[in-house]
Amino acid sequence: MPNSVLLMLNQPSADAPPHLVGAPTFALVDPALPQVSALDLGVTRGDGVFETIGVGDGHPQALEHHLRRFARSAAALDLPTPDSDVWRTAILAAIAELGAVPESSVKTVLTRGVEGDGRPTGWVHASLGADYDSARVDGLRVVMLDRGYRHDVEQTSPWLLAGAKTLSYAINRSVLREAARRSADDVIFVSSDGFVLEGPTSTVVYRSGDRLLTPGTGLGILEGTTQSSIFQWAESLGLGTGFERATPETLRQADAAWLVSSVRLAAPVRELDGMPFPVDHALSAGMNAHLLGLRE
């Protein structure tokens, strides 16, 4: 059983010329070998978009939601529209090739391709999951860091691509190194005008009394695919849910908080800016059991 499966798509978009004549298809290639041109704008300019999808026992989580967000990110970058049918087929083929494992993940990547070529590049990579038990049960030490942008840049300055999941994620990696320097595991971004935004690869969810809240969209942050699943579940339990702007002080006063994402699922915050933070173990366990169950 392979540790990692890589499929290259020959026609990642229906509205761009294919790399090969014929039906849209994909090739199983060796992930240990180079598969991307050094001239691809995906690598020379971070000019592309991606999704990462959690997979349990061969079942991808919220696949259609991820495919829609993938298409929205592509539209934000004026990339050719990814052909959802082709991507869905490739994703399921990669998962099948990886074989049945308890937890794995699939990443989809669409780049603008080699400059001047006019053809996007697309691939699907499936790989075994890491061990997320510690994050899901014990929780994370989190620091809040300035994202530099006002909360309204998505409206005022759409060219900044806030809210699109692009390959230009150097900052999303850099803040994790800053977190490590501060003896923390992860980050919550705060807008330059003082609103809680999101994690570098996660959505912020917090509990205030019997309500689960999240900052919501329109703040230049990603629509949360996993947060959406959690809210549906919470409502079925009779909890309230809502999208509300929050300040760092709102978050500090919350009864519990989580960073939620498709692969790691719900990771409770156990320390915020160096101070102990309450963990709702029962709700965390419920969320993660529900999310794992969605993959079945």
| Interacting residue ranges for its own copies, rule: CB under 8 A | 4, 6, 8, 31-48, 50, 77-78, 107, 109, 111-112, 123, 125, 145-150, 153, 156-162, 166-175, 177-178, 192
CB of 177 vs its own copies, minimal distance in Å: 6
Cβ-based nearer residue to its own copies, 77 or 257: 77
150 vs 270 by CB, closer to its own copies: 150
Partnered with residue 187 across adjacent β-strands are 143
- 53, β-bridge pairs: 106
Q: State the minimum distance, in angstroms, from the CB of residue 210 to its own copies.
A: 36
Report, in Å, the least distance between residue 231 CB and its own copies: 28
> 125 or 270, CB closer to its own copies?
125
Instruction: Output the smallest distance, CB 244 to its own copies, in A.
Output: 23
CB contact at 8 A, 166 and 154: no
Q: How far is the CB of 284 from its own copies (least distance, A)?
A: 27
Please provide residue 278's backbone torsions phi and psi, each rounded to the nearest 5 degrees.
Answer: -65, 135
- Specify whether the backbone of 228 is left (phi greater than 0), alpha (psi in -120 to 50) or beta: alpha
Distance set, CA 205 to CA 137, 182, 213, 291 (Å): 16, 22, 6, 14
Nearer to its own copies, 153 or 259 (CB): 153
| C-beta closer to its own copies: residue 107 or 119 | 107
Region label for 86, one of left (φ > 0), alpha (ψ between -120 and 50) or beta (otherwise): alpha
